[in-house]
Structure 1
């Protein structure tokens, strides 16, 4: 079964999984094909690395055997050639009460699939994927979940889970037929628990740090598709700077737009309590953002205004909060504007382009001159932030 999972997908699983087994499912045959132990992926990865070092061509097991009587004959190369696949995914939070905002997650995942798949999706797609997610995450009769890691086998804590489907991007028409007239050999997806971190209570009081990543632009931001280069750059900056989240900053051609974080949405809050968010066309509408929109109305904070937000808007805001699956609504105490010579040059160029008076900013603070480093500080505690966090917590359990 491992040959059915592209190598790039297996690498994602190995880098972030926190479970004993993953679930491999077929949308085409409407079947759960197998529960695959993570240890088998580890073994395969070690074998591939060894064969690559030895100069031996990597040949995965023959997949000419049919599963459930419906799998068509295919070579392993067809399934594992990474450039042929677009990876569509979603991330959700599971607990012993169930999957948080499951309906909203499924609506977003379906929108991404419908826009990325060259084939029409079966009518049962939503219901089948939803049932697989529920089966994987459910703790049977309050007992041990065989998929959870040992440290959390009884759902002693919430856990994030991910679903990934890989869809063909290079479609060769057969006998002149268009993709909409063809049927794929197999549409597969996997589900697994990932390493999860939920901020401690004191972070909601003291706030967290963001950092700017310049020249970072998502392709198709409205759809949840894995972009390895952005993920890699953001991860490197998080590890080097210690920032909890990375804000993606576009270039001068797009007025240094700052649409979202690498794994989050954000809100700007004025001193009077007015709330702004990036234009809907520039972002993936996160599930936490949708819930927070409802929460803001519940708290009497009014509608969230969506508009184009640039680096200048960030530099002039009173307060800023992060929105995400794990943190919910989390205040930001500061943004690391720059941290070395290159990032300072990028920031200064953006500030000049946008006519930002850096030295005149009251919340600007120099950390060091060698290497150059500076932050922008924000208010962490305000009536609007506290009301928003409280209303979101109520929305989460309603």
Structure 2
């Protein structure tokens, strides 16, 4: 346990929903067997370390989350490729063995096949892999990894019909948008905002210096349909290209809806969309029913600054109805959900996942 940094021990203790994890001291050691560690020991270790504060080494946490169902990981190869890509971006001087992709897939399957790893009665749950390395670590330094089952929640069936509630989170962006690298402060801020306002997810809004870009959600990609019927997603350079997004390419084509176009999307593009969908491992393809634009004087100033700079005219028919409170401190954009298209997209997505 002493070899695992405090930040990782705390992460496992807070997120785990399983009986044990698999720990690899060096994930790139292709012959290594996992050390099986009971999750209760992480909670005990965090309690014992509660007095350990002050300066801690700076680690970069690289992770990915995928979904398991009935003993198989959906899109397992694609997730393995993305995790390896994130590692390569964060550790560019490290030489990764060519066999790592297949070994990674085998280790993921080995973990979910391990007797007793799931709690009784669970047949569907997310799987998380997390690695860590020190800033400036030598290329020869081993890269450890932990495989675990985190707490997982999926939208209720009604949300796929009625739509989810999202909101704008201003002055929020990822330091490395192309890699799954943990940003604890941003994650905590997003979760607090969601909980406070009853939201399922937030869209990250960059500052004026970045032209009020809205590249992605805090834990998702998003897809918007414009008034001309075309489908758009953020420029690939601004996002982690999600596995659900890649599957959505095929879903739209199978449904006869054309292809997905990529370009930089800003707050104006979102406000003027015809429909909006959230894409992610847990929600899959989830329609959006409303978007919280602001909820205080401070966030209203952010919204007003963005709309003025981008030339958004909220009085025209280009935007959906905006509902405001009487005091003017809270406003949300109401986005109609296509009751026929939304379930159709989800049904096709499930077909894609099961055929992978």
Give the counterpart of 1:377 among 331, 334, 350.
Answer: 334
Question: 2: CA distance between counterparts of 1:387 and 1:202?
Answer: 14
- Identify the residue that residue 158 of structure 1 maps to in structure 2: 124
**Which of 230-239 and 362-371 deviates more?**
362-371
Q: CA deviation at 1:32?
A: 2.8
Question: Are residue 106 (structure 1) and residue 80 (structure 2) matched?
Answer: yes
In 2, Cα distance between equivalents of 1:280 and 1:242: 30
- Quick one: distance in 2 between partners of 1:189 and 1:262? 23
Between stretches 193-202 and 124-133, larger displacement belongs to 124-133
Give the greater-gyration-radius structure (CA).
Answer: 1
The verdict on how the C-alpha distance between 1:81 and 1:120 changes in structure 2, with shifts beyond 3 A counting, is: farther
Residue 200 of structure 1 deviates from its aligned partner by 1.5
Secondary structure, counterpart of 1:197 in structure 2: coil
Q: How does 1:1-398 map to 2 (within 5 A)?
A: 2-25=1-24, 26-30=26-30, 31-49=32-50, 51-52=51-52, 81-83=56-58, 85-117=59-91, 118-138=93-113, 145-149=115-119, 153-155=120-122, 157-171=123-137, 179=138, 183-184=140-141, 186-360=142-316, 363-370=320-327, 372-381=329-338, 384-398=341-355
Distance in 2 separating the partners of 1:23 and 1:29: 14
**Structure 2 counterpart SS, 1:3:** coil
**Is the 1:322–1:332 Cα contact (8 Å) retained in structure 2?**
yes
Contact kept, 8 Å, 2:293 with 2:332, in 1: the verdict is yes
RMSD of aligned Cα (Å): 2.0
**Which SS does the other structure have where 1:220 is aligned?**
coil
Q: Deviation digits for residues 310-358 of structure 1, max 9, x if unmatched?
A: 0000111111011110111110000000111111111111111111123
1:116–1:376 distance in 2 versus 1, CA, 3 Å:
same
Deviation at 1:386, TM superposition (A): 4.3
CA distance in structure 2 between the aligned counterparts of 1:119 and 1:396, rounded to whole angstroms: 32
Q: Is the 8 A contact 1:21 1:37 kept in 2?
A: yes
Conserved? CA contact 1:96–1:138, under 8 Å? no
Q: Any stretches of 5+ residues in structure 2 without a counterpart? A: none
Question: How far is the alpha carbon of 1:369 from its aligned partner?
Answer: 4.1
Consecutive unaligned residues in structure 1, runs of 5 or more: 59-79, 140-144, 172-178
